[in-house]
Amino acid sequence: MSDTIAPTPQGYRIPEEPKDLQTGHLGRTQLISLSLASFVPAVGMALVPMLMFSAAGVQAWPSALLSMFAVICVGVAVISFARRFVASGSLYSYIGEAFGPWARYLTAAGLFTGFVVQVAAIAGIIGIFTGSFLTSLGIDNALELGPQSIIYVGAIGIGAFVAIRGLDTSVRVAVALAFVSIPLMVLITIASGVHTGLDLSEQLDFSSFSLNGTLQGVAGGAAFLVGFESCTSLAAETRDPKRNVPLAVMSVPVLLGVVYLGCTIIQTPGLAAASDALSDGVSPPAALAVEAGLPSAVATATDLVLAIATFASMIGFLNYGARFAMTLGLDGLLPARSSAIHSRYHSPYIAIGILSVAGFLLMSSLVLVSGTVTTAYNAIATLCVYAWIPPYLLIAAGAIALSLKQGRFSLKIAGAAVLGGVAMGWVYINGIINPPPAPLDAMSWVVVVVIVLMLAIFGLTSRAGRSRLLTDQTTGGSDDTDL
């Protein structure tokens, strides 16, 4: 990681970058396309309006607007680092430039938890859509643990295989899967809006406005935007990263935030009309399709199309998370083998394997404990948001600290960082003050326990990791192997 402007805190050692990645390989269009595809716009179009509507009722659009605004503010803080530093460790690499080792440890604990949870959550989404499709074909046990575990193995396994094959393959497959599914959700959204109308008089009537419901909706919206900065882990493999990475980072909250806001406004009347079907467990896009009078085949096909599209997110986050985990391996916080780079595909294949196994075990365990796939997914989605909050709070504070150290204080960056940090912090606090139903309410303390556990592990292994790093730098040795 390099920068010629910012001073480095005393005692902070800049993490080493791997030499076997394809430096400067990705172009701007590839990076932005993968960044957007990783969030599977069609799935967000299908589920974000429902999450907003469930929490805030007919006045759901303020939740979508606020979640977009909060994430954009955090994004301003993130790109203040991305414009200066090139690294594979995402926020973990950035935050040390502002606060030093202690902040890196806390950020590492939150992000490692977050990436494992993200892989599990994506597997859960694929399981829900695939299970719903199989149920429509008469397979009654498709949402039970046994079949779901098989789906998770397939989903994570295919995603890992593509990720190991390298960034070129990952970009082609992920973008194709993500964007081919968009026309179907555009059709359902427009059909729903035409059938029910926008009913703006009720959506803009704040006489029944609920602040608590709106804030809970913000948390739901954040679940589909959290991790938006993960493409920063590809900076070392991107051409002109100090220009292109910030564009890719902000493309997610700006472009997808606007899309989700528009879909929320258009779909809310249809969701209200389809409340009975939603209560019976019909997926939101299928319920909207039926309510709008579309052929039943459209509703049936929707679940399968969205399940396939979600593989784009699995591929994207296995790439992002593996490069972050690889950096932890280089820095001694994870086993040395986790930093191994495939000699042919130039991918961190061991780190991909670690995230894949951990994600599968987590999702399967939660289904076993909670008893239902939907409950397990809702819990893990909440945990995912909470895991990212400490890194976001740190990066917001770090952006202000960095500008002060440079003697170039920016009111724009400071204002955005404060607003973004307050908004994300309040998402967590509101979950404690106004807890959601069990078991989601337990996630506020589960995330604390997991992060503390990760900090303890990193603390125990960091000294051995530093010794190994010094040995590697001295001998120039490498243990990279081929599959």
Q: Is the pLDDT of residue 4 over 50?
A: no
User: Rounded to whole angstroms, how far apart are CA atoms 338 and 323?
Assistant: 10
CA distances to 189, 221, 269 from 203, rounded to whole Å, are: 17, 18, 9
* pLDDT for the residue numbered 24: 64
Q: Report residue 482 as tokens.
A: 């081929």
Task: DSSP letter for 347, please.
Answer: S
Q: What is the mean pLDDT of residues 266-271?
A: 92
Q: Report residue 376 as tokens.
A: 């397990």
Q: Is the pLDDT of residue 476 over 80?
A: no
Q: Which of 55-59, 382-386, 445-449 has the lowest mean pLDDT?
A: 55-59
Chain segment 189-219, per-residue pLDDT in tens: 999 999 999 888 888 887 777 777 777 777 7
SS3 25: coil
Identify whether 173 is part of a domain.
yes
Band (480; pLDDT cuts 50, 70, 90): very low
Identify whether 444 is part of a domain.
no
Chain segment 325-348, per-residue pLDDT in tens: 998 988 888 888 888 888 888 899
* pLDDT for the residue numbered 185: 92
* pLDDT for the residue numbered 9: 44
The CATH number of the domain where 261 resides is what?
Answer: 1.20.1740.10
Q: Is the pLDDT of residue 15 over 60?
A: no
- The closest alpha carbon to 120, from 462, 450, 457, 452, belongs to 450
Q: What is the mean pLDDT of residues 270-292?
A: 83
pLDDT > 90 fraction of the chain, expressed in percent and rounded = 42
Band (221; pLDDT cuts 50, 70, 90): confident
pTM: 0.86
Task: DSSP letter for 253, please.
Answer: I
For tokens 């069990």, the residue is 438
Identify whether 280 is part of a domain.
yes
* Tally of CA atoms within 13 A in the half-sphere of 107 that contains its CB: 28
Please indicate whether residue 108 or residue 332 has the higher confidence score (pLDDT). 108
* pLDDT for the residue numbered 260: 94
Identify whether 478 is part of a domain.
no
Task: DSSP letter for 346, please.
Answer: -
Query: What does the mean pLDDT of the chain come to?
Result: 85
pLDDT > 70 fraction of the chain, expressed in percent and rounded = 90
The one-letter amino acid at 88 = S
Identify whether 156 is part of a domain.
yes
User: Rounded to whole angstroms, how far apart are CA atoms 454 and 433?
Assistant: 26
User: Rounded to whole angstroms, how far apart are CA atoms 30 and 49?
Assistant: 28
User: Rounded to whole angstroms, how far apart are CA atoms 119 and 155?
Assistant: 10
Q: What is the mean pLDDT of residues 286-296?
A: 87
Domain carrying residue 35: 28-383+425-438
* pLDDT for the residue numbered 325: 92
Identify whether 33 is part of a domain.
yes
* pLDDT for the residue numbered 333: 87
Identify whether 104 is part of a domain.
yes
Band (474; pLDDT cuts 50, 70, 90): low
Q: Please state the domain count of the chain.
A: 1
Identify whether 15 is part of a domain.
no
Q: Is the pLDDT of residue 12 over 50?
A: no
Q: Is the pLDDT of residue 5 over 80?
A: no
